[in-house]
Structure 1
């Protein structure tokens, strides 16, 4: 069976059905009808051993080598970061994260392909900046990046900062063809990281009423769907942000994921969000997407 409705109404497509649906997703991307939502799993497409961590658990491990956290929180990135911030100061956490993500992450063929499309909005949910690099390498001059920032370093009601691809900070609301939105921050150009539990306290309090999400993101998602690739939703933080970012969007919604690896909470989230799972290896899906457009 290629289409699998589960008890939670999760729809999974495989084999020829998956390839056909992926072709529909490709056409929707080319025509700017869906928004790419990129996760850290894409780092594995460019390198078997990525130069930077490609999971929250790997970030936690890297932080633990610098300051061992209690065993009960050792694998939780957000809690380990909070432990370091409380005992070593925010500046230390910032410096360590900057060091951990210092290695340049090469854009994958998917990043390079997306960079050439006239997309209105791209979501990059990891810190490494590969999508930003791909847009710069493509010579794009009609792009701004909006990054989430920690309130720990801010005075006033500031949730994001805006940059052009040269790294120059811009006024919020700058008009542009493509908006690259990094809700959790990024290593470049200014090492903005939402990483510790404390970074999310106010954000999660306000996110139900959408305050931390830029107006341009709210505007551009309304008549579009979402295409998730390289993502996992095995933590409540990741599910909450994805849910709020795609809130009030029109659809359709697709995700490239391995059905066998989904946790129960991930499956529930995908079903409740109306996200159809295209069950195929990310490398195969990316080859079909980028290869079809070459």
Structure 2
């Protein structure tokens, strides 16, 4: 085909163009389907027990009455609440979360055969106190879902949130040598509306919180919920009795002191936990 100036232009068949457009539409639809499947697979699923679900339905706002939410994230934090709080026997399973990601391993609560990444307990003597053990890694794209589904089910009036988690001491930023630090040690981060005293010093800049604890703290800050985060810096990543003991000062807080288990229950649970850990880490068993 020639133009006014004599140059020759390529002629394309409309049939070829239509075929390419059809192929592109098919590829786009296939990509969208894959994306939908991935989003569905990575969805955070929260399931309450029948009793808790009934309590939510009976409330005027269809939200669970809660004065205190305690969230333990990671092996040592969940080990601490198991030995120092849950061992009192005054708790019952009230729900669980299941989720999947590349780093998540499913855990099953002893009283339930349903695989769970997080397990919720309600205090029998005070049903407005809820404790959550999060055993797994919650990916960045799942943290917003987690916060919306869990905190969205709770009444925000008079709610206080307490978070426990651990972090490698190598991540702690300080002008001093970490070799001289009394590891393990606690640092605390509070939202603007948390006004109570703390048993340890604040987390200094430029140190930061990350992961699920940071997402929960950000949610509480936005919704003006008093929240406090205890971050334990340790040099041992696996379950460790010394690291768990570092959280003991948390029980001195007024809101936590009444939840502490008896010393004999604590010791027995600690022995069982450490014995199980030793067996699992022995390659010859």
Pair member with larger Rg: 2
Same fold (TM over 0.5): no
State the TM-score, normalized to the length of structure 1.
0.29
Greater relative contact order structure (CA < 8 Å, 6+ sep): 1
